[in-house]
Amino acid sequence: MAAQKVQLLSLKVPKGYRNTAAAEYLAQLDDLTRRLFEDLKGAKKDELAWQSAPGHNTIGMLITHLAIVEVWWTLVAQKRGTREAIEAVLGFDGDHDGLPLKPGAKAPKALGKLTLRDFEKMLKVARAFVTKHAKTLRDAEMDTFIERTRWDGKKQKVTPRWILYHVVEHFSGHYGQILLLRHQYKDARKKR
């Protein structure tokens, strides 16, 4: 009997961080991003802008949302979380993704003009911003509370460790939605 090949799986933790945990969270985000764009390979503008029904998200909206959220939470960690600060980093404000859409609403037209490469560039800008900040975090800062006021006026205290965890958790959830949308899009095309 021939020996079976063993697949080696590992997550390489990047160097240049003051804090190992921050480096590990960024390694997770980078791997999820690599896998997301591998899974989206070949997606064209019409697929990225497709809505399963009015009021539902598109793949493009979700990728834009991922970029906005990464920048937003990094700004919260820096105690400068404003819509204007998001725009200074990304070139558009926190409402650019259209989320949440009102029932029956169409997706933002501007996002329908973007290619997969455009969305990839958008997420790279956001990730570079997050990475630059994460590299500066010291061990003692990871569990220091930062108070913020949510858009709805409620107060909340979060730590940089929780922020990095939340960004990974958030990315993972929307990654699953994106895969589902891709599946639904392909099924809808078969039925035509």
Whether the pLDDT of residue 110 is over 90: the answer is yes
What's the pLDDT band for 143 if we cut at 50, 70, 90?
A: very high
What's the pLDDT band for 102 if we cut at 50, 70, 90?
A: very high
Please indicate, yes or no, if residue 96 is contained in any of the structural domains: yes
Please indicate, yes or no, if residue 37 is contained in any of the structural domains: no
Please indicate, yes or no, if residue 19 is contained in any of the structural domains: no
Please indicate, yes or no, if residue 57 is contained in any of the structural domains: yes
The residue with tokens 């009015």 is: 54
Q: What is the CATH number of the domain that holds 182?
A: 1.20.120.450
For the stretch 18-48, pLDDT in tens is: 999 999 999 999 999 999 999 999 999 999 9
For the stretch 45-62, pLDDT in tens is: 999 999 999 999 999 999
DSSP state, 93? -
Whether the pLDDT of residue 95 is over 90: the answer is no
Predicted pLDDT of residue 191: 79
What's the pLDDT band for 82 if we cut at 50, 70, 90?
A: confident
- Cβ neighbours of residue 79 under 8 Å, at least 6 residues apart? 146
Which domain, by its residues, includes 109? 43-190
pTM greater than 0.75: yes
Please indicate, yes or no, if residue 109 is contained in any of the structural domains: yes
Please indicate, yes or no, if residue 32 is contained in any of the structural domains: no
Please indicate, yes or no, if residue 22 is contained in any of the structural domains: no
For the stretch 5-24, pLDDT in tens is: 999 989 999 999 999 999 99
Residue 3 exposed, middle or buried by CB count within 10 Å (0-12, 13-18, 19+): exposed
The whole-angstrom separation of Cα 177 and Cα 143 is 31
What's the pLDDT band for 81 if we cut at 50, 70, 90?
A: confident
Q: What's the mean per-residue pLDDT of the chain?
A: 95
Please indicate, yes or no, if residue 2 is contained in any of the structural domains: no
Number of structural domains (the chain) is: 1
